[in-house]
Amino acid sequence: MDFLLKRDGGTFRFLSAQSPLGEALYAHYGYKSGDYDTNILIEDGHARVRSDGTLAMFERLGWPWRAMGVFRLLPRRVRDWGYERIARNRLRWFGRRDTCRLPAPGERTRFL
């Protein structure tokens, strides 16, 4: 989320999966409550998850991030395997916060 907030030019809006609306959206798109193993990009009423969702986000960030779309040439199974490895290790690699980050005043409109 921090990565996108810094780079997306206001394109994306964010929602906690654990919020009532987040839980409702998970259920609506067929994901189990409490099973937060991926982010979900909802675009034009369709949910994209794992590598599909992540690559779609990168493609909307412009150059050089758009170049990540080259990974779409790989089979989804291979892309999702890589996504799972990164997701599983992200806290070790990028760190963990002791508390949830609160939006800055200028970011509040970006959160549902």
Peptide bond into 105 cis (omega under 30): no
For residue 49, give the amino acid letter: V
Give pTM, 2 decimals. Answer: 0.82
Answer whether the bond into residue 64 is a cis peptide, omega within 30°: yes
Taking only the tens place, the pLDDT of each residue in 73-106 is 999 999 999 999 988 887 788 777 777 778 888 8
Ranges of each domain in the chain: 2-98
pLDDT of residue 14: 92
Query: What's residue 61's pLDDT?
Result: 94
Give pLDDT, residue 32: 81
Task: Dig out the tokens for 90 from the structure.
Answer: 């992200």
